[in-house]
Amino acid sequence: MAYVSEHNLFTEDVSSGIIRKLTTDGSRKLINGTFDWVYEEEFNCRDGFRWSPDGREIAFWQIDATRIRDFYMINNTDSVYSRIIPVEYPKVGEAPSPAKIGVVNLANAFVRWMKIDGDPSQHYLTRMEWSAPGELIVQQLDRRQQESRLIYCNSKDGNSRTFWAENDDAWIDLNTDNPMGWYWINNGEDFLWVSEKDGWRHVYKISRDGKTVTDLTKGAYDIGQIKAIDEKNNYLYVTASPDNATQLYLYRVKLNPAGRSGKDEPELISGNKLKGTHDYDIGPYARFARHTFSNASTPPVAEWVSLPDHKPLQSNKSIQATMKQNPNMRVEYMQVVTEDNIQLDAWVHKPASMNPTKKYPVVFYVYGEAAAATVGDSYGNHSNFLYNGDMGADGYVQVALDNRGTPSLKGAGWRKSIYRKNGQVNIRDMAMGAKKILELPYMDRSRVAVWGWSGGGSSTLHLMFRYPEIFQTGISIAAVTNLLYYDNIYTERYMGLPSENPEGYKLGSAINYAKDLKGNLLVIHGTGDDNVHYSNAESLVNELVKHNKTFSFMAYPNRSHSMAEGEGTWEHLSKLYTNFLRQHCPPGGK
């Protein structure tokens, strides 16, 4: 077995217990076999080493974070003296930590470094695995994340060659569904690769040499995930929803399509009787699957089905036989067209026992960034996890909408329209979408609140500062207040380098609009947040104070981005949130 300890790579013979140290240069900032904070957070990189097929070598990442400045967090409460906590955290504008791939021979612990072109301080190595005995495949992204290269590396001499490359005018998303990034088929002669190079998220079959490329999911739609590969029967199973981006269904396409006749078009496997979100855990050879389903009013329910006919293995335990509706989920899905002629998906959760002659307060839940969408037709999306009570029973209308830039299955153009304009395009979409939804006759436009966490906290600040005519009350939790305060990988992906887009960074940072606050604002942050640092909140406080703005503020000592630590934290946060909302946006029809 192999493992990493104190940033060095070790093996242990499980029969004899003999431990061997394979690398010796590991330190706090020279990292072997695992990753620094930002690789883990933004590239979903976790285990940083790979055994060779013959078990004689191990390939591993080395991350050199020695040039990355420490961000210091302070623990003031666990001792009578404060304690400094250093975190290597590359802020926007800082060059990436140089990364390289080494191959260590287990017989003599000799490490050979792969010779990969490109300045390591201006590139990322995001994926790596063995593609054959003596050969690695590595994915390299440039710093702007606009060029992706797939590279073969010879583990015996370290030489490398690029065999596949693609470019994007905005950014290239990684395939985070598979930690390797690709799927080998046809005995290693081809691999499957997810790309948006034609404007849609499609699955491509690419020959080992990169010369033959086939789009397996051709058409004006996005796939969600690859769920199974059935080479025996020549099928690829994927999730998609060509007609409704809020839902998800199972389809299959040919792995080796004969052409583009009708029989090669995507085949719907889920059927169209159950509208909502379908997910699958598909077994070997794609003969059977565990199928789960939910929608806004149907709690998650599961069944075992055979494939491809999608028949329940036990009719009395099928989803149709066991599903139950929740009558309290009074959710309406809709599409709104803003005054900018942008069509947005939205849901509205109505109060219980609505009186058609009255108007009700409205609470918008927002996120709005590229990391997540909020308007999925699945159960539980419509519950406010912070509110202490039942919002519907108390007489609140709850709303969410998905702006441009969210990862909805609407094409790359939709998702990448925020490039260099994050904090502008997405915020206007939210505001104009809210303005349109508030035209509904039962909504009280004098009682409108907005709240969000992390990116949603940032969106809340933007909306409160820039659209006070729409939003009177806001609760912002763990927000990035200045784009320059966040990490380089995430922010530069969507905004470009700050030296090349200074105006975009200024216009996209909520702190620059703080002087325009007019409503009721509650700002909440954990001082131990190693993701969105507490300095974001402190800087915002300074700006609000400078402009003599009245606001409410809560700091939770040593709590992280999730604020899950500390006795009583969640109960206190829920009470704080609920009381502020009820005070400034009173519930009930009027």
Q: How confident is the model at residue 100 (pLDDT cuts 50, 70, 90)?
A: very high
Span 65-72, mean pLDDT? 95
The tens digit of pLDDT for each residue in 252-274 reads 999 998 755 445 689 999 998 99
Amino acid sitting at position 375:
V
Question: Nearest CA to 374 among 291, 309, 430, 303?
Answer: 430
Query: Cα–Cα distance between 473 and 18 in angstroms, integer?
Result: 62
Q: What is the pLDDT of residue 265?
A: 83
Mean pLDDT of the chain, nearest integer = 96
Angle among Cα 121, 125, 126 to the nearest 5 degrees reads 135
Residue 571, CB half-sphere, CA atoms under 13 Å: how many? 3
Span 488-493, mean pLDDT? 98
Q: SS3 for 8?
A: strand
Tokens of 226: 């690859």
Amino acid sitting at position 403:
N
Query: Cα–Cα distance between 189 and 202 in angstroms, integer?
Result: 20
Q: How confident is the model at residue 218 (pLDDT cuts 50, 70, 90)?
A: very high
Residue 89 contacts by C-beta under 8 Å, 6 or more apart in sequence? 37, 38, 68, 69, 70, 71, 487, 530, 533
Q: What is the pLDDT of residue 175?
A: 82
Query: Cα–Cα distance between 448 and 432 in angstroms, integer?
Result: 14
The tens digit of pLDDT for each residue in 361-391 reads 999 999 999 999 999 999 988 889 999 999 9
DSSP per-residue letters across 88-128: E--BTTSPPPPEEEEEEETTT--EEE----S-GGGEEEEEE
pTM, full prediction: 0.96
pLDDT surpassing 90 at residue 304? yes
Q: What is the pLDDT of residue 179?
A: 63
SS3 annotation, 414-437: HHHHHCCCCCCHHHHHHHHHHHHH
Higher pLDDT, 179 or 555: 555
Q: What is the pLDDT of residue 101?
A: 99
The tens digit of pLDDT for each residue in 434-488 reads 999 999 999 999 999 999 999 999 999 999 999 999 999 999 999 999 999 999 9
Span 233-254, mean pLDDT? 97
Q: What is the pLDDT of residue 255?
A: 95
Q: Is the distance from CB of 52 to CB of 130 less than 8 angstroms?
A: yes
Q: How many residues does the chain have?
A: 590
The tens digit of pLDDT for each residue in 3-46 reads 999 999 999 999 999 999 999 999 999 999 999 999 999 999 98
Tokens of 375: 């308007």
Query: Cα–Cα distance between 94 and 451 in angstroms, integer?
Result: 31
Q: What is the pLDDT of residue 561?
A: 98
Residue 583, CB half-sphere, CA atoms under 13 Å: how many? 13
Q: Which of 104-113, 147-156, 206-215, 260-269 shows the lowest mean pLDDT across its residues? A: 260-269
The tens digit of pLDDT for each residue in 506-551 reads 999 999 999 999 999 999 999 999 999 999 999 999 999 999 999 9
Query: Which phi and psi angles does 220 have, rounded to 5°?
Result: -85, 65
Q: How confident is the model at residue 293 (pLDDT cuts 50, 70, 90)?
A: very high
Q: What is the pLDDT of residue 202?
A: 97
Q: Percent of the chain, pLDDT > 90? A: 94
Q: What is the pLDDT of residue 262?
A: 47
Q: Which domains, ranges and CATH numbers included, belong to the chain? A: 1-167 (2.140.10.30), 331-584 (3.40.50.1820)
Q: How far is CA 416 from CA 333, 420, 461, in A?
A: 24, 9, 22
Question: Nearest CA to 88 among 79, 78, 98?
Answer: 98
Query: Cα–Cα distance between 293 and 296 in angstroms, integer?
Result: 11
DSSP H or E segment with residue 571? helix 569-584
Strand order of the sheet with strand 8-12? Answer: 2-5, 8-12, 19-21
